[in-house]
Amino acid sequence: MAEPGTPVVFIHGLWLHATSWNPWIDHFRAAGYAPIAPGWPHEPETVELARENPQAVADIGIDDATGHFASIIDSLERPPVIIGHSFGGLITEKLLGQGIGLAGVAIDPAQIKGVLPLPLAQLRAGLPALGNPANLHRAVSLSEKEFRFGFGNTLTDEESADLYRRWTIPSPARPLFQAAAANFVLHSQAKVDTDREDRGPLLLISGTADHTVPDVVTRSTFKQYRDSAAVTELKQFEGRGHSLTIDSGWREVADAVLGWLREQGI
């Protein structure tokens, strides 16, 4: 078993602030872990400040963010469990593939190089950023309607609107462009070492009703690990969307992650 106080590093994805992990932090701390949820490079400390300074995170790419979190992890006394959502899930996979971290959980992870499915819902969810090539060097915000489609499609209008008001911030568009072009770029920053066998265990989680990272994309990601003997597992949540880490059902997902960590002896 892992020692008491095993570190956990939560990594959020685009359009959510690091403080959106606060309920998970409390839950994991109560379970005996030592969790933190650092923001992306240059991310302001609060949702309000992030909205007031929308271009503070402009032009940050996947490698910039991955290196940022690697430095934070390097400063910890012990290797942590890394838990990421959306692009935070992709970064979790990259770090684990670099031999960083005790274990990883990638929730609705953004697609990595080698994943081919590109459903129409995913294209529509990415349009706020990808629809204008000039956004490559900008930070982009979602409208409430765009958030409803990309995150809150399985929720009531009221809950989706509440989550939008509480947690959404401008985010860099560059990672979306990098992921979208990954299969056409030789040294794409969305490349993950899926063959590594001496890494920690990895759990991939998908919501079957997710528009932003559809279930078929996560299942395809899972298949990319078929040549590795390291533990790689997939768990699907029926009828859940991209909001599954922040909506009223977040605890079910968090408890599933805690249960899986116990199964791994962590």
Q: Is the pLDDT of residue 21 over 60?
A: yes
**Structure pTM?**
0.95
- 76 neighbors 105 (Cβ within 8 angstroms): no
* Token pair 């002896």: residue: 265
Taking the C-alpha atoms of residue 60 and residue 122, their distance in angstroms, rounded to an integer, is 21
Picking from 92, 70, 76, 67, the residue whose alpha carbon sits closest to that of residue 13 is 92
Q: Give residue-wise pLDDT tens across range 109-156.
A: 999 999 986 666 676 777 777 888 889 999 999 999 999 999 999 999
Which residue ranges make up each domain of the chain? 7-264
Residue 185: per-residue pLDDT: 87
Picking from 141, 159, 149, 158, the residue whose alpha carbon sits closest to that of residue 124 is 149
Picking from 86, 40, 60, the residue whose alpha carbon sits closest to that of residue 212 is 86
Exposed e or buried b per residue across 99-130, where buried means at least 16 C-beta atoms within 10 angstroms of its C-beta: ebbbbbbbbbbbbbbbbeeeeebbeebbebbb
Residue 138, φ and ψ in degrees, nearest 5:
-120, 165
Q: Give residue-wise pLDDT tens across range 45-102.
A: 999 999 999 999 999 999 999 999 999 999 999 999 999 999 999 999 999 999 999 9
Q: Which two tokens stand for residue 74?
A: 């390097």
CATH architecture of the domain covering 7-264: 3-Layer(aba) Sandwich (3.40)
pLDDT tier at 157 (50, 70, 90 boundaries)? very high
Whole-number mean pLDDT of the chain? 94
Residue 2: per-residue pLDDT: 52
pLDDT tier at 242 (50, 70, 90 boundaries)? very high
Residue 47, φ and ψ in degrees, nearest 5:
-60, -45
Residue 118: per-residue pLDDT: 67
Residue 101: per-residue pLDDT: 98
Amino acid occupying residue 69: F
Residue 116: per-residue pLDDT: 83
pLDDT tier at 3 (50, 70, 90 boundaries)? low
Q: Give residue-wise pLDDT tens across range 173-196.
A: 999 999 988 888 889 999 999 999
- 116 neighbors 183 (Cβ within 8 angstroms): yes
Highest mean pLDDT among 2-6, 114-118, 197-201: 197-201
Residue 235: per-residue pLDDT: 98
Residue 119: per-residue pLDDT: 64
Q: Which two tokens stand for residue 134?
A: 């000039």
